[in-house]
Amino acid sequence: MRTKLIAGNWKMNLTAGDGAGRVESFVQHAESRADVDVVVCPPYLAIPKLSEILKYSSVKLGAQDVFWMESGAYTGNVSARQLYEFCVDYCIVGHSETRGRFGKLDIPESTLGYFGETDETIKLKIQALFMYGINPILCVGETKEERDAGQTDEVIRRQLEAALEGVHPAEMHLFVAAYEPVWAIGTGDVCDSEEANRVCGMIRSWIAEKFDDDAASDVRILYGGSVKPDNAKELFGYPEIDGALVGGASLKPEDFSAIVESV
């Protein structure tokens, strides 16, 4: 049976000091649920401090992104080797925001070119994480326009195919998928639970076709997109949803604890 996974993505919020206080507030609640894996993904600058705090905790440390080269003249980037040094266990890749696909655009549209993530760079990042035994959490999902055009499944299959090209079935025990409909991220809109379950099931079926039934059975598939304490229990009641990638609610210790408890 797959262990449920709840991952908090802090995005570009909180200082290292603020983050330490938040973590200490909910660690005890998280550890009371030994049957649930809990991950915190802070900004890069908070990773060293949180690594020390979580060293003897069951709560795992994650990162929000990674660069695929191990070292070199790549100003501003962080490698899997550098994450490994601080005992990072999980890393988000291919988030819609790094792809330049925003549910709610809070920046000038003219700056979207800054977010240059491609299917190829996502694939390279996953390969780099596998080299260091770090679990990639691959985000896939459609925009509102793509959903309205009936392209949800097509878009997600294309994203999966590109990201997992060349991956060996034996590596899939590290892999986590997160279905994050772009239109639900930061907007307050939540995908209907039954539809979220259907899409997660479609992802599992694709993995079975691409790799094998064992990989499909083992891979955890999360839902992300405006997950809150008041909708988490319903989402987790569906068989294909193995947890959540939580954004804004993960910044509030009481809300994040409530989501963990709702599993």
Question: 107: exposed, middle or buried (C-beta count within 10 Å: 0-12, 13-18, 19+)?
Answer: exposed
Q: Domain 4-261 belongs to what architecture? A: Alpha-Beta Barrel (3.20)
CA–chain centroid gap for 228, Å, is 16
Question: Cα–Cα distance between 3 and 98 in angstroms, integer?
Answer: 28
Scanning 71-211, the segments in alpha helix (DSSP H) are 80-85, 119-131, 144-148, 152-163, 193-210
Under a CB-based contact definition with an 8 Å cutoff, are residues 61 and 86 in contact?
yes
Domain ranges across the chain? 4-261
Active site amino acids: 95, 180
DSSP 8-state secondary structure symbol assigned to residue 60 = E
pLDDT in tens, 67-108: 999 999 999 999 999 999 999 999 999 999 999 999 989 999
Mean pLDDT of 205-223: 97
| pLDDT of 30 over the 90 cut | no
Measure CA of the first residue to CA of the last residue in the chain; give whole Å: 14
pLDDT band at residue 190 using 50, 70 and 90 as cut-offs: confident
- Non-local CB neighbours of 230 within 8 Å, separated by 6+ positions: none
pTM of the model: 0.97
